[in-house]
Structure 1
């Protein structure tokens, strides 16, 4: 059988994907930097809207990391 091995992802793409996956953890662990009430957004304290913003940004980071590292095959 003549199956071709999957294409290797370039190193810079893997490194960038790794950084994108680590950034949200660093932000989440830096609680003292966002454990405050002001500024408020639509009546919500900073602590809550900052965390909600990072839930969305984390999904974006994971999506971009996936796009950077997925194979170049036919499915996908």
Structure 2
């Protein structure tokens, strides 16, 4: 992949990380299983990250884009 393409992808990922600071996914855990009787519990698993990570990715992507522009000139 070209440096410019990698820079664009990293910038987009960083912008998404700035807009969405976390997300959750849900799993189902079996609590009781006695013959035909089943009791399940839904458990939320939050995944969070710092907005600083998004800022670093956006800045790094912009640097890669600018660097590729200077090399092509």
State TM-score, norm by structure 1. Answer: 0.41
Quick check: which one's helix share is greater?
A: 1
| Structure of greater Rg | 2
Quick check: which one's strand share is greater?
A: 2
